[in-house]
Homo-oligomer: A and B are copies of this chain.
Amino acid sequence: MATGSIDRRVARTRRLLQEALFELTAENGYAAVTVEDICGRADVGRSTFYTHYPDKDSLRKAAIEEHLEAMRLEGDAGDTKPSSGGFAFSGPAFAHADATRMMHRAMMGGKNHEIPEEIRDWIGKQVRHELTGIVGKDAIGLEVATRFVTGAFLEVMHWWLDADAGLPPAEIDRLFQALAFDGTRRMLTSPE
């Protein structure tokens, strides 16, 4: 096969570098991580790093894109069921994040909320797609609603991964969807 013809050494090195990045980001935050740190943790020569990625940002970007791709394939297998009156993206996202919690904690920016642009854009795209045609034809309204839900989701996800309050993914998703669809006012009457 053509795509699979990746030298074992290359695959191994990239895997080690990505893992090191995730660990160090979760520990100290993305900004504090240096290429030297990454290579040290991965036990990879620094010059080797630069044969694979031009800089730290490229490593993260590549890691995230591979990961989003994997998630997309997962999503294709199971049914995304965009019906049932809820957001389709959030449930799988919470579930997937729960499965590989540490990695996601790093990808969400560690303690410092340094959420990568790729993730924000991806979530935004899902939200916009699911809101389109539902929120009326007002372009401004759609845009504001998209930003609103995207920001809310990322913040809730970040808190959920970080605080580790023992909330199962299904539960946090239920809370998120309730807030997104019915707002905070409803929590006034139905005390849950």
A135 touches B167 (CB 8 A): no
B148 touches A155 (CB 8 A): yes
Contact of A192 among B115, B136, B165, B180 (CB under 8 A): B136
> Could you say how many copies of this chain the assembly holds?
2
A143 touches B159 (CB 8 A): yes
User: Is A112 in the interface zone, CB < 8 Å from B?
Assistant: yes
User: Is A102 in the interface zone, CB < 8 Å from B?
Assistant: no
A165 touches B140 (CB 8 A): yes
User: Is A78 in the interface zone, CB < 8 Å from B?
Assistant: no
Closest chain B residue to A166, Cβ basis: B140
User: Is A156 in the interface zone, CB < 8 Å from B?
Assistant: yes
User: Is A26 in the interface zone, CB < 8 Å from B?
Assistant: no
A52 to B54, CA, bound (A): 36
> Which chain A residues in 117-160 approach chain B with CB under 8 Å?
117, 120, 131, 134-138, 140-141, 143-145, 147-156, 158-159
Chain A interface size band reads 35 or more
User: Is A99 in the interface zone, CB < 8 Å from B?
Assistant: no
B176 touches A138 (CB 8 A): no
A145 to B163, CA, bound (A): 14
* Interface-central residue, A135, A175, A183, A185, by most chain B CB under 10 Å: A183
Q: Known interface pairs A31-B31, A113-B115, A114-B114. Does A145 touch B192 (Cβ–Cβ under 8 Å)?
A: no
List the B side residues contacting A184 at CB < 8 Å. 131, 134-135, 145, 148-149, 180-181
- 15 A-B pairs (CB sep. < 8 Å): A113-B120, A131-B184, A135-B184, A135-B188, A136-B187, A137-B191, A140-B165, A143-B163, A144-B176, A144-B179, A148-B180, A148-B184, A154-B155, A181-B184, A182-B182
